[in-house]
Amino acid sequence: AQTVTQSQPEMSVQEAETVTLSCTYDTSESDYYLFWYKQPPSRQMILVIRQEAYKQQNATENRFSVNFQKAAKSFSLKISDSQLGDAAMYFCALASIQGAQKLVFGQGTRLTINP
């Protein structure tokens, strides 16, 4: 079975600073996708960043980047220059390449941005 663990229920950061959210996972597959999703309060879940396991280069999307350590099964999200709009629940997720491609989510990390 695939599992995803986010060990930080809550994090806070000062506006304009950098914060890193942790995620570890377990899977028996050699190829898979990893994701970070963002869920703002009472709003729709949206994709932040995506990483394919066979790609060694860490994905980046503007202020968001990941540190993907395949051997350690670790997938952390770094948010640079934090903005008030970054406040949300962040979910790490894992999906198989084949089959139903079901996403398995972590427990979530609530990120607060302090002005």
Partner 1 sequence: EADIYQTPRYLVIGTGKKITLECSQTMGHDKMYWYQQDPGMELHLIHYSYGVNSTEKGDLSSESTVSRIRTEHFPLTLESARPSHTSQYLCASSPGTGRPGGANVLTFGAGSRLTVL
Note the residues at the interface with partner 1 (CB under 8 A): 33, 35, 37, 39, 43-47, 50, 52, 89, 91, 95, 97-98, 100-105, 107-108, 110
Measured distance CA(4)–CA(83) in Å, rounded:
26
Give the closest residue to 23 by CA, choosing from 68, 89, 79, 81. 68
Supply the minimum distance, in Å, between the C-beta of residue 95 and partner 1. 5
**Of 10 and 15, CB closest to partner 1:** 10
- For residue 73, which phi and psi values (nearest 5 degrees)? 55, 55
Supply the minimum distance, in Å, between the C-beta of residue 18 and partner 1. 24
**Of 18 and 101, CB closest to partner 1:** 101
Are the CB atoms for 96 and 65 separated by under 8 Å? no
Supply the minimum distance, in Å, between the C-beta of residue 46 and partner 1. 7
Are the CB atoms for 89 and 10 separated by under 8 Å? no
**Of 41 and 115, CB closest to partner 1:** 41
**Of 72 and 100, CB closest to partner 1:** 100
Supply the minimum distance, in Å, between the C-beta of residue 16 and partner 1. 27
Secondary structure of residue 58 in the 3-state scheme: coil
Q: Which two tokens stand for residue 99?
A: 């089959």
